[in-house]
């Protein structure tokens, strides 16, 4: 398949997954914030959400002055829900021939909804509905990807985008717990699990009081929960080998090597040894490895070796496209 097409498919599904993750985060944050305000703890939950996403500065420079609205609707920040859906659709437009009509219609409908003038009013009057719509869309999108298109190379690049994004989200959520000034409270732990849609799955494995150790163990090492880091990385590993045709356990490019080593760590170490090394440091290290995986996928399958990236050209290209 065309390299550019692989790239577009990858980013399309990555942005959809990101929109879902960010939406869950906002939804959870809303609840937690409410709870804390009622109990007057004086903690600013929105501010910590912004720092977890590393966008404190972006928020300060944005024309939107409400933190929640910024995360959802900023046109300038590249990971707001609005931008994610716009980018997903932009990528989808470039590869419409690869998508089923159903996928396109769902994505396009959500795009039209998010860009309609009445949107913010609708959100204010019923935020629950809004969250549900975004999350439901993402799930429908995944279902349709699995049920209505060939499970060939293009589908594998889509899945790669999804799992890389998911691993990034999960590790970020977990990392916020390690960055708190004080011990995470029960509400913090519940919030983290809910952000990963993992609360009931967690309960089945661990009953009784919530602890950071157990939550971290579950979100990092669960073999079968589809949003755990281990699950995501093992999918990434399998997909990469299906794409290259090289048997698992070997590697033919940097992305495979890095994924293999991350997977080995998740398969064969455990929560105790991670706690020993420092939870934050370990998560940080894993996260960096996964960012490199994304970069190497791009270098292996999309770029030609002699290619020079010139970002300044983009507006010029757009102008010429329009002249045609």
Partner 1 sequence: MNPNAFANYKTDDFFDEMFGDSKNSQSLEFYQAIYDRIGGLTDKEFEQKKKHADSSFLERGVTFTVYGDGKGIERIFPFDLIPRVIPDSEWQKVEQGLRQRILALNLFLNDVYHGGKILSEGVIPEEVVMSSAHYRKEMIGFDVPRDIYVHVCGSDLIRDEKGEYLVLEDNARCPSGASYLLENREIMKKTFPRTYQKMSVRSVEAYPEYLLRSLEYLSPRMSHKPVCVLLTPGVYNSAYFEHTFLARQMGIEIVEGKDLIAIDGYVYMRTTQGLVQVDVIYRRLDDEFLDPLFFNQESLLGVSGLMDAYLKGNVALANGIGTGVVDDKVTYAYVPEMIRFYLGEEPILEQVPTYLCWREKDRKFVLENLSELVVKSANESGGYGMLIGNASTQKEREEFASRINQSPRDYIAQPIISLSRHPTFCPEGVEGRHVDLRPFILYGEDIEIVPGGLTRVALKKDSLVVNSSQGGGSKDTWVLND
- Would you tell me which residues interact with partner 1 (CB under 8 A)? 1-6, 90, 93-94, 96-97, 101, 104-105, 108-109, 112, 153, 243, 301, 304, 313, 316-322, 324
The CB-of-318 to partner 1 minimum distance in angstroms stands at 5
Q: What's the DSSP call for residue 180? A: -
**Which residue lies nearer to partner 1 by CB, 3 or 261?**
3
Alpha-carbon span 19 to 137, nearest angstrom: 10
The CB-of-9 to partner 1 minimum distance in angstroms stands at 11
Can you spell out the DSSP letters for 182-235?
S---HHHHHHHHHHTT-HHHHHHH--SS--HHHHHHHHHH-SS-TTSHHHHHHH
Q: What's the DSSP call for residue 64? A: -
Can you spell out the DSSP letters for 91-127?
HHHHTGGGS-HHHHHHHHHHHHHHTSTTHHHHHHH-H
Alpha-carbon span 84 to 137, nearest angstrom: 13
The CB-of-69 to partner 1 minimum distance in angstroms stands at 22
The CB-of-156 to partner 1 minimum distance in angstroms stands at 10
**Which residue lies nearer to partner 1 by CB, 34 or 112?**
112
**Which residue lies nearer to partner 1 by CB, 206 or 298?**
298
Q: Within the chain, what is the greatest distance between any pair of CA atoms?
A: 65
The CB-of-304 to partner 1 minimum distance in angstroms stands at 7
Alpha-carbon span 89 to 96, nearest angstrom: 10
**Which residue lies nearer to partner 1 by CB, 244 or 267?**
244
**Which residue lies nearer to partner 1 by CB, 39 or 320?**
320
């Amino acid at each position: 398949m065309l390299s550019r097409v692989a790239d577009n498919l990858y980013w399309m599904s990555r942005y959809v997954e990101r929109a879902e993750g960010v939406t869950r985060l906002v939804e959870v944050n809303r609840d937690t914030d409410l709870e804390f305000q009622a109990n007057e703890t004086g903690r600013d939950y929105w501010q910590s959400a912004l720092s977890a996403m590393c966008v404190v500065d972006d928020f300060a420079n944005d024309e939107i002055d409400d933190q929640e609205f910024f995360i959802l609707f900023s046109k300038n920040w590249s990971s707001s829900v609005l931008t994610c859906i716009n980018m997903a659709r932009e990528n989808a437009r470039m590869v419409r021939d690869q998508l089923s009509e159903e996928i396109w219609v769902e994505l396009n409908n959500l795009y039209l909804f998010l860009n309609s003038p009445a949107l913010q009013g609708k959100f204010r009057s019923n935020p629950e509905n809004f969250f549900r719509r975004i999350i439901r869309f993402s799930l429908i999108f995944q279902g349709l990807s699995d049920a209505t298109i060939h499970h060939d190379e293009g589908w594998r690049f889509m899945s790669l985008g999804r799992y890389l994004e998911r691993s990034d989200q999960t590790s970020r959520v977990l990392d916020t717990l390690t960055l708190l000034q004080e011990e995470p409270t029960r509400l913090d732990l519940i919030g983290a699990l809910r952000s990963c849609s993992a609360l009931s799955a967690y309960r089945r494995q661990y009953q009784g009081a919530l602890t950071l150790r157990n939550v971290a163990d579950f979100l990092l090492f669960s073999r079968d929960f589809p949003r755990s880091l281990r699950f995501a990385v093992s999918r990434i590993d399998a997909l990469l080998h299906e794409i290259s045709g090289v048997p698992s356990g070997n590697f033919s490019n940097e992305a495979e090597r890095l994924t293999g080593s991350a997977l080995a760590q998740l398969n064969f170490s455990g929560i105790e040894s991670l706690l020993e090394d420092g939870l934050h440091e370990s998560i940080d290290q894993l996260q960096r490895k996964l960012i490199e995986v994304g970069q190497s996928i791009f270098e292996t399958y999309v770029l030609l070796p002699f290619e020079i990236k010139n970002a300044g050209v983009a507006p010029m290209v757009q102008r010429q496209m329009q002249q045609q």
